[in-house]
Structure 1
Amino acid sequence: MGAFFKNLLKNKVMLFMVLPGAIWFFFFSYLPLVGTIVAFKQYRFSREGFWASIAKSKWVGWDNFKFLFSTNDAYVITRNTLLYNLAFIFIGLVLSVAMAILLSQLVNKTMAKVYQTGMFLPYFLSWVIVGYFAFSFLSMDRGMFNQILGWFGMEPVQWYSDPKYWPYILIFVSLWKSIGYNSVVYLASIMGIDKSLYEAAMIDGASKWQQVRSITLPMLSPIIIIMTLLAVGRIFYADFGLFYQVPRDSGTLYSVTNVIDTYVYRGLKTTGEIGMSTAAGLYQSVVGFVLVIVSNFVVRKIDKDSALF
């Protein structure tokens, strides 16, 4: 016990540095875990307060979880959530790394910063604004795309009524908004690579592509694996704003835009069942946790040094 307190005193400066973050995590991440019991109750609000409401609510066990899987929509929302997230992870990874490499190769660093800032800005736009941007392009009457089609004598497309276009639209919009932000992490890692490695490669006559393939990508592999593992942990979470605001909650598009988060929101808005919503969140968290553990285990078996933990 004495050694424990001795280590605390020895590292007190570092501990004080992490204290604000630890307090934030305690109040906003760990303390709310107690509320997961609502997932197993038929929660009913009481004027006596939150904890009294939990205590007086009826215990229903797994009934709230059955809501997610007892309807015909269960397969659709699970499929959409998984497939979209897989596309976002892998396509986004390739494009983010490629963009970071291209920016690092620009000789004019001023222009590189201009390009990087321009790509970074969409990340700060809310999905409501992005939804209106998309509507200005896809509107049936005044949308830019339909006006262009009209110039070529083609019939206008009812974008918000035809589901076949929306998987591509949603993937494009998501990548447009996030690729600049994600590329910053990889660009920072590239900037940290020892320049003498590239100088030695140039002396040996290596082309730019050979330098990227033999130096940049191998040096980026640890951060790529870590970022992918973190993304896998949220594979059962969908960006609510993307799937709700951009398609404008069009009922005809539910077959390709309905995901777990939007399904739970609509169910909560219709029935007011807080227990069902909590059950969905707990389900997503547990599945994400298991996926991270399994993925990290596989990575550790292949390359121990590249594992997250």
Structure 2
Amino acid sequence: MLHQSAGYSLDCLASLYDETAAEIRAALLAEGVDVDTHPRPSPDPIAVTMERLYDLKLSIDRVGWLCGYTYGKARKILLDEGVQLRKCGPSLEREVDVPRLVKLRKSGLSIEACGRELRISSGTARNRLLAAGVSLRPEPAIFVRPPTPLPASAVVDLHRQGFKKEHVRKLTGRSSSFVQRQLALAGLPGRVRPDSLGVDTETLVAIYRCAASSQVTADVLHISKGAVLTRLWEAGQDMLDVPSPDATPVHIPAQVPWQRRQQEIVARAARGQRASEIAAALRVPVADVNAVMRVYQHRDRTTAEILYRRTQGESPGVIAVRMGLRLDRVRDVLARYTSHPRRSTPLAKPPTQ
């Protein structure tokens, strides 16, 4: 119809349908169209073409797009030609998942977003919503977070019922990354991206089970305590008062500034430098140099390192995770060597008169 009635050339049709001129020519020949004859447009080619396209049950949006007009202009042309416009009938209702469209709209999505989700135009989405008695300005929905996270199957079920991903997250008590992963595993459309904090939930739970402290877990992973509590809640991990007895020790070493200083001191000592020379070169107290050397020369290297790490401000839980030890072993060492209070220096007697 575009070729015969509207006079569209092969090149114009190729550009319109994003095909080559040869493919357009072959398609026309297959329909019995004489492509060698120059098409002669009708007296009012656009109106005739629109009318014929509309008779093929195409929507007004589609007819206007094919002919290069907006919805309003295409509708006016059709009305001026005396075309009886179709009403929303049962056959058209079956083409659109109206219940899902209504749920998407009530979940807070815009009409345009609802249309994109169902692969229909915004005009069609608007008409279906009005026909279903849905207000175009819905009241904002209020979603309450459950006391415990819902299973992964609830994520998929809510999504299939038409709820927005943000609302699925609130209704299930799960994170955005968890929702996206479950949708991807179920083959549903979802944008999967890694955790913005780069946190592995399994590792986080393993650390917590070894340390029984959200603060220690946060210190080891360099995130906030609130982020740790949120991920523990999402993973269904109960709060612990003591480390889990069946937890396997976790070893997560990390290079910190004082460790680099340790390595430099040991390297200089191996080259034969004295403690005073090392202290002067690194601009640290001689006592610090001697303390590091005691760690690497101690017969029980593990005990010495535990004590040294404690002097550097690390908590027992952090020491256990950094060294890959059980927390009770670290606490035993600290209790054995630090249980006795240091002897304080006696006060000087006041001078006699």
- Range class of TM-score, shorter chain: under 0.3
Structure having the larger proportion of residues in helix: 1
Tell me the TM-score normalised to structure 2 length.
Answer: 0.17
Tell me the TM-score normalised to structure 1 length.
Answer: 0.19
Highest RCO, 1 vs 2 (Cα 8 Å, sep ≥ 6): 1
